[in-house]
Structure 1
Amino acid sequence: MGRLIGILLVVWLVIGAIAAFQRGYFDDTRTNCSEASDIALTVVAGPLNYLGVNPKVTCADVDVPEPSK
């Protein structure tokens, strides 16, 4: 039973990776927080991508304070 679950999990993730590839997420080698999160969510969503799920993430730009002079 555990083997079947493992096989289904791998197939699920492969389908998600194919969906991310078709959306062009792997074309650019430089990514930011939002793009990396979109890729991860698309892969995890797996076959749901083909049912209309289009996961997107927006990362808040964090203003890092500059050191005092």
Structure 2
Amino acid sequence: MYGDSLVDLATLDRHMPRNGVIQAYLDAAERDGIFIPHFRERLAGAYYFKGLDGLRFYAKMGREDAYRSTRDFLLAL
């Protein structure tokens, strides 16, 4: 996409939660000697960024189940 690459990572993790996307990313970065400054904080910001847009979309579409699920995920961060 554009901007912080962790936004793409957060999107992948939300759509494929059981695939271990975050850990695979961290493992690859460590293996390649890549330091990711403020990783956890940036990832939380990416979740909020995409999550708020998701809340808007789900509210507009009347998808109450998806809205509640996303809201609960964001509140638990």
Which bracket does the TM-score occupy, shorter chain normalised?
0.3 to 0.5
The structure in which a higher percent of residues are helix is 2
What TM-score does the superposition give when structure 1 sets the normalisation length? 0.33
Higher relative contact order by CA 8 Å / sep ≥ 6: 1 or 2? 1
What TM-score does the superposition give when structure 2 sets the normalisation length? 0.30
Larger radius of gyration: 1
